Chains A and B, each alone.
Chain A
């Protein structure tokens, strides 16, 4: 377990920035009320075995008691670094993203299941969409009842979505909460 160095921080933040925009500040400066300390602490990012964890500082302090080899996980895993040095977000960071998302998409109840099985979001299944989405932006996918289902990358801008045919892909699937079942071992 170690703090991220500068390049790693940059890659992580850039990825998060895609989804949250300027709300990233909220994530970084989020006060934590864990631990015995009377005042609010902070959250920080820690790298452990290629995975990046979003942990409160008080938890980090206590985790130092555990040897590196023994430590399995701490806080919330938000993603992992690939061997090539890229950063991939995982499902666990969904709640973090959902609360700070800049671009959102709501799915019709009929297409929810399809998305949860790992399919892309089609125009036909689109309930609502926020404005000003540019292709390539990170988009958080919600159900109509505002339950976060997953996230992905916008394939079309909001404007283009209007004219799109119902089978056109609007959001490219990255992760969804179905992975908790499908990829239980890997998470």
Chain B
């Protein structure tokens, strides 16, 4: 039951028709396309899928083609999954990216659902889910794995015992990866038709899955409410990386120098003794030991240049040192960039740094920008491009600027005056806007009061002599202002 690692290159394209029976999981910890993560993975369906795995091998005409197209060595379960026609496209992407790991992790989050409940529910099968659940089982090798196969376990064993007693010895099983592989398999004769091939493939796939299941139940298990729990062994098969190993960083200038001189990096304490305060302080950073900046008095030396501020000089020196270090750093990064070993945190910002030689990356013009330029060029003729032949697909130039148009200063006599029209329009608008104040309550009340007053004044007819002259004075202006009110005192 020991698996042998099977590198991808072992199985070339030409061999693909026979591939159906080989089983090998292909996965790596590379990025997952987003659409896959977006797939709603239901464990229920997945578990169900496993349950019905043995019985559901039906139409598998696509296997052959798919395998050939991707040159992928397949997990038996995957193989089965791939046969389902309606999810073919999604699966294609899935398989080509070989990223089962992340999905498995996604599932781990959802794994709190009791599996025994899930197992009994009857929901339609999705090949993606099948893949996922298998991967999930693999992932859980470091924790306890729930095996809700209790009811089916005996059944499965029987089947295994009946069907494939000899082959099981030949099959190599890597339980850590939940993977099985039959190195001794060969087709007795070339299958005549595609259907036949498919049938054979599925039969072989069944065997392999069965082998996994059998060895799974041979593992020592502990009882749980949900069923027996087994601990998966560590995966033995080494799966290949998708990307190359990172290039080692070239040594910096200092490192090469130190090597030639035999200088070794020695660790210094984080804490150093601070003489002025006679305490222990951190060696670097804020409030550090022996900080030059915190020294209030600097003793004069003979070498001091008269008229020079020692404090300012210290600051300047420090600035120079920092600048120099920055320069060195960039130089080293430049060297690293040449080899292609830029550290990942610098890679994104590399174009901003003066590393790559060309500081400004060539700007790409957008479609709109090009269109605008073309428009300007097209209108840069004496006629403003009016009589030019239009290129196919050329749009009329867009005027970005504002072209203010005013009415003519003077219009001919016979013409209908545009300006008059405009003023009338504005005037009517203004008047109609303010026409709602037709009935003025204040005014009405005022008029009523004034009338009342007049009546009262007329009736008694005993106006005092002091009032009369006053009235006369006020009457004069009153005639002009139609309805005005005496205010004089």
Contact = CB atoms under 8 A, between A and B. Distances in A.
Interface of B: 404, 406-410, 419-420, 422-427, 429-431, 434, 440, 442-443, 446, 477, 480-481, 483-488
Given A128-B481, A130-B481, 4 more contacts: A6-B422, A57-B410, A61-B410, A108-B488
B410 A64 contact: yes
A64 B485 CA distance: 49
A93 to B, nearest CB: 16
A3 B423 CA distance: 10
Given A10-B426, A24-B430, A44-B419, A130 B484 contact: yes
A91 to B, nearest CB: 23
Of B426, B434, B485, B488, chain A has the most CB atoms within 10 Å of the CB of B426
Contacts of B429: 10
Contacts of B440: 132
B487 A28 contact: no
Of B423, B481, B486, chain A has the most CB atoms within 10 Å of the CB of B423
A159 B427 contact: no
A132 to B, nearest CB: 5
A3 B487 contact: no
A135 B446 CA distance: 17
B271 to A, nearest CB: 65
Contact of A132 (B422, B424, B442): B442
Contacts of A104: 481
Nearest to B482: A130
Contacts of A61: 410
Contacts of B484: 128-131
A78 to B, nearest CB: 14
A132 B443 CA distance: 6
Given A42-B420, A131-B484, A132-B443, A10 B406 contact: no
B426 A6 contact: yes
Contacts of B407: 2-3, 5
Contact of A161 (B425, B446, B487): B487
Contacts of B431: 22, 24-25
Nearest to A11: B426
A5 B487 CA distance: 43
B427 A158 contact: no
B430 A17 contact: yes
21 contacts: A3-B406, A3-B408, A3-B409, A10-B426, A13-B423, A22-B434, A24-B430, A57-B410, A106-B477, A108-B488, A126-B487, A127-B487, A128-B481, A128-B484, A128-B485, A128-B486, A130-B484, A131-B443, A131-B484, A132-B443, A146-B480
Nearest to B420: A42
A17 B434 contact: yes
A25 B485 contact: no
Contacts of A146: 480
Contacts of A128: 477, 481, 484-488
Interface of A: 1-3, 5-6, 9-10, 13-14, 17, 21-22, 24-25, 28, 42, 44-46, 57, 60-61, 64, 104, 106, 108, 126-132, 144, 146, 158-159, 161
Contacts of B406: 2-3, 5
B410 A60 contact: yes
Nearest to B480: A146
Minimum-distance CB pairs A-B, first 9: A3-B407, A9-B426, A2-B406, A3-B419, A132-B443, A61-B410, A128-B484, A10-B426, A128-B487
Contact of A9 (B423, B442, B477, B480): B423
Contacts of A161: 487
Contact of B409 (A1, A28, A144, A158): A1
Nearest to B408: A3
Contacts of B408: 3
Nearest to B406: A2
A64 B477 contact: no
Contacts of A44: 419, 423
Contact of A10 (B409, B410, B419, B430): B430
A96 to B, nearest CB: 15
A94 B429 CA distance: 25
Of A14, A28, A128, chain B has the most CB atoms within 10 Å of the CB of A128
Given A6-B422, A13-B427, A128-B487, A159 B477 contact: no
Contacts of A64: 409-410
A156 to B, nearest CB: 12
Contacts of A24: 427, 430-431
Contact of B427 (A1, A5, A28, A127): A28
Nearest to A157: B442
A44 B420 CA distance: 8
A9 B422 contact: yes
Contacts of B487: 126-129, 161
Contacts of A129: 484-485, 487
Contacts of A21: 434
A145 to B, nearest CB: 9
B172 to A, nearest CB: 86
A45 B423 contact: yes
B417 to A, nearest CB: 8
A64 to B, nearest CB: 6
A21 B438 CA distance: 12
A25 B409 contact: no
A14 B430 contact: yes
Contact of B477 (A46, A60, A144): A144
Contacts of A2: 406-407, 409
B488 A131 contact: no
A132 B438 CA distance: 12
B481 to A, nearest CB: 6
A134 to B, nearest CB: 9
A12 B431 CA distance: 14
Given A1-B409, A13-B430, A129-B487, A28 B480 contact: no
